[in-house]
Structure 1
Amino acid sequence: MSAFDTFLQSVLERAEAEARQEGSATIEARHLLLAIAARDPGAAGLDYQRVKDALRGEFEHSLGSAGVSPGVPPTPTRDPGRRPRLGTTFKLAMERMAAEHRKRDLRPEHLLLGILQAEAGTVPRALALAGIDRAELIERVRSTL
């Protein structure tokens, strides 16, 4: 296995754990982002707690936009026997990564770019609400390649 394959396997395992902890039926791009931040706290300056807080803020903001008072967040229903499946935003992030780079050239930063390049969705909204300039973050990640 290549170094990237080893990295990807560990990120996928952590992303699945994040989805399970959240009670999500799917593994999404937000779970990948959390997994990368947990595995490599220096990844483009994103630490795990900051990403987690940004995603929580986005969730509460979305609830408020729908007219639901955030108050006490609902307790997720967890089914320990059910394995989360791959979600749409997960697949799109992987497709963006694969479309722009050959497999033999892949590095962890490419996966992060695949996540960050989403124009809409939970991750870009969370970053914006947290005051993180997504375009600047993308350029910072690209500069490391």
Structure 2
Amino acid sequence: MSRIDHYIDAIIKRGITEAREDGSTAVEAHHLLLGIAATDGTAAHRVLTAAGLGRADVRRALDREFEHSLAAVGVQPAAYGLPRPSPDPERKPKLGASGRLAIERGFALATGKRDLRPAHLLLGILEAEVGTVPRALALAGIDRTDLRARTRDTLAREAW
């Protein structure tokens, strides 16, 4: 197994953990983003942390997006005292549509598998125009265009 295969496998496994903690049946792009933010030692992680997006920051942005989405349909989570999701250690979340698309976009951005690096996966997540990740980053005041540019610049300069 190549280095990138190990990395993608590790991020998907971390995404499964994140999905399980969310009570989700699917590993979506935001779970992969949490996985990247929680995995030190790669250019993708450095891009996120340089933008002020450590794992806890990404989690807060996602929580805010969830509350904002509920508010859009008239539900105020604080008014109902909604409990946090109950993690199910037996649940085996599968890769969901947004997670699969993020990985596919990341692969498509590389010139070939031998050129594929962790920042390609991050860029694949950031390239989504709609969905949870773009909404969460917007609500957190993150300029996705700038973050994508930083990621592309990192790809041009750094191997990992």
TM-score relative to the length of structure 2: 0.85
* Residue of structure 2 in register with 1:104 after alignment: 114
SS of residue in 2 equivalent to 1:144: helix
Mapped to 1, the partners of 2:153 and 2:82 lie a distance apart of: 38
Tell me, yes or no, if structure 1 residue 81 matches structure 2 residue 90: yes
User: Paired residue for 1:11?
Assistant: 11
| Aligned residues of 2:29 and 2:125 also touching (Cα < 8 A) | yes
Aligned to 1:90: 99
Once the two structures are TM-superposed, the CA of residue 78 in structure 1 deviates from its matched residue by: 4.0
Q: CA RMSD in A?
A: 1.3
The whole-number CA distance in structure 2 between the counterparts of 1:129 and 1:75 is 21
Q: Deviations over 1:71-97 (max 9, x none)?
A: 133332444322011111001101111
Q: 1:32: which partner in 2?
A: 32
Structure 2: gaps spanning 5 or more residues:
156-160
| 2:10 aligned partner, one-letter code | S
Query: How much identity, in percent, do the aligned residues show?
Result: 54
Unmatched 5+ stretches in structure 1? none
How much has 1:131 moved relative to structure 2?
0.1
Deviations 1:44-79 (A, max 9, x none): 322111111100000000010011112133332444
